[in-house]
Chain A
Amino acid sequence: MIDKFNMSAMVDTFEADNPGKTVTLVEYADNQALSNFALQWSQGESSQDIVVTDGASVGVQFLARDLIVDFNTTDFFSGSTAKDRFIGETLAFTSLGDVQFSIPIGLETYNINANKTFFAEAGLLNADGTIPNPTDWNDVYDMAAALTVREGGAVTRPGMTIQWGPNAVSTMIAVQQAVSGTLYKSDGETLTFDTPEMREVFEIWKKGADEGVFSIDTFANKDAGRSNFNAGNLPMLLQSVSHVAEATPTIGLENGAVVAMPGSLENGSYGFTAGILVPTASTNQALALQFIKDAMMSDLQVGVGDQWGKLPVLTEHFDALDAPWRDTVYDLVKISVAAPMYRDLARIQVDGKQMLQEYLTGAMDLNTFVDGLEAMIDGADKNPL
Chain B
Amino acid sequence: MPTGFFFILPAFLFIFVFMLYPIVSSGYMSLTEYNFVYDEAPTFIGIDNYVAAFQDDKFVTALTNTFVFGISFFVIVMLSSLCIALLLFQKLRFNSFYRSAIFVPIVVPLSLAALIFLWILQPNYGLLSHVVGDVLGWHALNQPWLANGTIAMIAIVILASWASIGFVTILFLAGLQGISTETLEAAEMDGAAGFKKVLHIILPSLRETYVLTGTWTIIHALKVFVEPMVMTDGGPGTSTLVLYQQVYLTAFTYFDMGYASAMAYILGAIILVLVVVNFAVSRIKADKDV
Contact between A220 and B147, CB atoms less than 8 A apart: yes
8 Å CB contacts to A: which residues of B133-178?
133, 137-144, 146-149, 152
Q: A217–B142 contact, CB under 8 A?
A: no
- Does B92 sit within 8 A of A, measured CB to CB? no
Which of B82-90, B212-220, B231-239 participates in binding chain A? B231-239
- Complex interface: chain A residues within 8 A of B96 (CB): none
Give CA–CA (A363, B150) in the complex, Å. Answer: 12
With both chains docked as a complex, state the minimum distance between the C-beta of B89 and any C-beta of chain A, in angstroms. Answer: 39
Q: Give the CA-CA distance A224 to B145 in the complex, in Å.
A: 13
Residue B118 is within 8 A (CB to CB) of chain A in the complex: yes
Q: How far is the CA of A233 from the CA of B147 in the complex (A)?
A: 20
Give chain A nearest CB distance to B137 CB in angstroms: 7
The 4 closest A-B pairs by CB, nearest first: A152-B139, A358-B237, A220-B146, A154-B139
- Whether B231 contacts A154 by the Cβ 8 Å rule is no
Q: How far is the CA of A118 from the CA of B142 in the complex (A)?
A: 23
| A287 on interface, CB distance cutoff 8 Å | no
Q: A38-B36, A38-B37, A354-B238 are in contact. Are A153 and B139 (CB under 8 A)?
A: yes
Q: Find chain B residues with CB under 8 A from A358 CB.
A: 236-238
Stretch at the interface among A60-68, A177-185, A289-297, A303-311: A60-68
A361 contacts B37, CB within 8 Å?
no
List the count of A-B residue pairs having beta carbons below 8 Å apart: 116
Residues in B with CB closer than 8 Å to A220 are: 118, 121, 144, 146-147, 152, 231-233, 235-236
Complex alpha-carbon distance, A67 and B37, angstroms: 9
Let me know if A13 is at the binding interface, CB within 8 A.
no
The SS class assigned to the A binding surface is mixed
Contacts of B235 in A (CB 8 A): 219-220, 353-354, 357
> With a CB–CB cut-off of 8 A, which chain A residues contact B190?
none
User: Do A154 and B133 have beta carbons less than 8 Å apart?
Assistant: yes
A6 to B255, CA, bound (A): 31
Question: In the complex, A146 Cα to B238 Cα: how many Å?
Answer: 32
Query: Does A280 sit within 8 A of B, measured CB to CB?
Result: no
- Give complex CA distance A220, B227 in Å: 12
Interface assignment of A221: CB less than 8 Å from any CB of chain B? yes
Per the 8 Å Cβ criterion, residues 45-98 of A in contact with B are: 61-62, 64-65, 67
Q: Which A residues are in CB contact (< 8 Å) with B147?
A: 216-217, 219-220, 361
8 contacts between A and B (CB under 8 A): A35-B252, A38-B255, A156-B133, A156-B142, A216-B147, A219-B144, A220-B121, A220-B231
Which A residues are CB-close (under 8 A) to B38? Answer: 61, 64-65, 343, 385
| Min distance, Cβ A238 to any Cβ of chain B, angstroms | 17
Q: Does B54 contact A (CB under 8 A)?
A: no
Q: Is the CB of B237 within 8 A of A361?
A: yes
Kindly identify which residue among A61, A152, A351, A361 contacts B149, using a CB–CB cutoff of 8 Å: A361
Which B residues have a C-beta under 8 Å from some C-beta of A?
A: 36-38, 40, 58, 118, 121-125, 133, 137-144, 146-149, 152, 231-239, 241, 248-249, 251-255
Are B140 and A42 touching (Cβ within 8 A)? no
If over half of B's interface residues share one DSSP class (helix, strand or loop), that class is named, otherwise mixed; here it is loop
Point out the residue from A32, A64, A351 that lies within 8 Å of B252, measured CB to CB: A32
The smallest beta-carbon distance between B224 and chain A, in angstroms, is 16
On chain B, the residues within 8 Å of A279 by CB distance are none
In the complex, the answer to whether B253 meets A32 with C-beta atoms within 8 Å is yes
Contact with B along A326-352 (1 / 0, CB 8 A): 000000000000000001101100110
Q: Give CA–CA (A347, B256) in the complex, Å.
A: 11
Q: CB distance B142 to A154 under 8 Å? A: yes
Q: Using a CB-CB cutoff of 8 Å, which residues 204-224 of chain A contact chain B?
A: 215-217, 219-222, 224
Q: Tell me, yes or no, whether A151 is within 8 Å of chain B by CB.
A: yes
Contact A35–B255 (Cβ < 8 Å): yes
Take A32-B253, A358-B236, A358-B238 as given contacts and tell me if A154 and B140 are in contact as well, using a CB distance cutoff of 8 Å: yes
Measured between beta carbons, the chain A residues less than 8 angstroms from B253 are 31-32, 346, 350
In chain A, what residue has the closest Cβ to B251? A35
With A62-B37, A65-B37: A166-B252 Cβ-Cβ less than 8 Å: no
Shortest distance from the beta carbon of B55 to any chain A beta carbon, whole Å: 13
- CB neighbours (8 Å) of A385 from chain B are 38
> Known contacts being A65-B40, A350-B253, A361-B148, is A217 close to B124, with CB within 8 Å?
yes
User: Is A152 a contact partner of B140 (Cβ separation < 8 A)?
Assistant: yes
Q: Which residue of B lies closest to A150 (CB)?
A: B139
**B27 nearest CB across to chain A (Å):** 19
Q: Which B residues lie within 8 Å of A228 (CB)?
A: 124
Q: In the complex, how many angstroms separate the beta carbon of B113 from the nearest chain A beta carbon?
A: 15
Contacts of B148 in A (CB 8 A): 361
